Chain A
């Protein structure tokens, strides 16, 4: 994906939801995209599949999937990509399934849309899929309606659906946000297991650094529609370079420190209507400098890039002070 830009024309002005996002996803790789609400992470992924249906949207850039440009494909051409080559898992499993059909019906519908299958074959495959995602008694569960499943079980159904046509890429939009903590862990385990077996790549969108640490190989940290930091998961979590990532990691509650106030990043996320020309995070950044009025380029070494004007020496100094104060 190269230089993806998504903007919406609104009455208040142009909203730049995604402003120059580029990344690659290798085969079998798990890429995590983190950011606050409204940082453009979901919109970026929806727009590449043509799921942003808004007359006022403008999408530019280039998205190549297995060597083929898929941005700007017609609806018809897109249909075989969606659900066939790219599967998608959504945030809220409670509303993601059509309430008036059984889950078996909905699985069969997708299988038959992409494969030349008889009803019996599709039904059999649907049963296998439900078994694979760990739904007990899959044969009778096929005949149940979405509202007869719990949230976690419904998310399993959605995962089964996303995987039904053996997609090369799985996009998961906050797959665990709407679930309780124990179910979250189960769903992440399941996704990891299935990814190993099916060999698909995963792009997982989340605002939870814990989810990233659990599952991702590489991470993109987004702020105000722009990438702030990109790098391998271990590097970003252990030695983050961008002040925004410092803030995000600092905001993860810790069990090992008692009586610690919940750390937050000061200020509010920048309004998408008024993203500054320079660094988008500058207004909230405790280390703001004069040069921050210019937009910082994404640079770095060893695949670990970030968009910040701080020099390595400055960062080292800031980080060592923070560590001795026990803040980071």
Chain B
């Protein structure tokens, strides 16, 4: 087990290194450079000033040289300076990461709990009215565009009912637990509704397949109670494909909640990465994307470890 984790960690480091080069190169291929955004519509930016700024920012160097300098600094813990926030990259990253963690962990946890409940309920009697209702809910969640769902929730709960704030992360001068919870409610609800549908479909499909297996029939013939049968035997076996999907989704959630973050003015990782790419903020975009890659790798590692726990026949060598 320890050897497996060590080997996978080393592989993750290699992937991160390769990804850093690929991302750096891809960002460099995009039109314009960081200074274009900075000097746009700036009457003071004469050609001489621009040339000097390019030298200051190291943009007069070829891309591989710039990457090499970045890598050396990164190995010393200096991930560079964010041009669009005028702060070191890690200083910008920390609050965005904290906000994303709050948003993602709550909505991911809620989605998983809801998906298991609904998926199992639907799988117990495929084609029944419960299954029909759950499928309708799941497909609605999958099909409804997130920005539209967010807007509807804002209009209903903030504009019409005045129950919850429409956006932001806290009230100035308050920022207590309840205040933060109130600001998190609508974005969490949006993300939860959007991701529960997909998870529910996977849980349902895996459970239906498992419930048809011989060992379930045997357990039922032996007189095992339905609740115990589902929870102890069927669900555990159905979890393996579901865990894979959830692990992949977890990584995506870290960088992919852009729409929800934008709609609710939650300054998290998705929005940070998106803004950094648009504004040609090389360092911030690079570190943000690398962090999202790292989360995906780690969640996959966690999924692999979970396989061994869920099915002891799977050996982690």
A and B: bona fide binding partners: no
Which A residues form the contact surface with B (CB < 8 A)?
none
Which B residues form the contact surface with A (CB < 8 A)?
none
